[in-house]
Amino acid sequence: MATSTAAVTIPLDAYLRTAYRPDRDWIDGEIRERNMGEAPHSAVQKFLIAYLSSREEPWGITVWPEQRVQTSATRFRVPDICVTRETAPFE
């Protein structure tokens, strides 16, 4: 049975207010499914998160699994792992 992969268009504010399970990308106003991968992909993701997380303090980084990231004015992507320079703690 074929499944529909048609993109759904919604405004940015609606996308940012909505929790998708699994999360979705927002590209030029369209909600797009992400490739979730399978066991080997998940194993690599798990390893990288553990490896990088154990080095957050000495390297001055923060590791964010599956964090929404604005890559341009019209695009929000959800990478498997996002690494940023250390920031001030959340209040």
CATH code of the domain containing 59: 3.90.1570.10
- Give the separation between CA 27 and CA 75, rounded to whole angstroms: 5
pLDDT tens digits for 6-39? 667 899 999 999 998 888 999 999 999 887 778 9
In a domain, 91, yes or no: no
In a domain, 47, yes or no: yes
Q: Are 40 and 66 in contact (CB under 8 A)?
A: no
Number of domains in the chain: 1
Domain hosting residue 24, numbered range: 8-85
In a domain, 1, yes or no: no
- Give the separation between CA 45 and CA 51, rounded to whole angstroms: 10
Please count the CA atoms within 13 angstroms of the CA of 55 that sit on its side-chain side.
10
Closest-CA residue to 66 (of 91, 42, 31, 30): 42
pTM to 2 decimals? 0.70
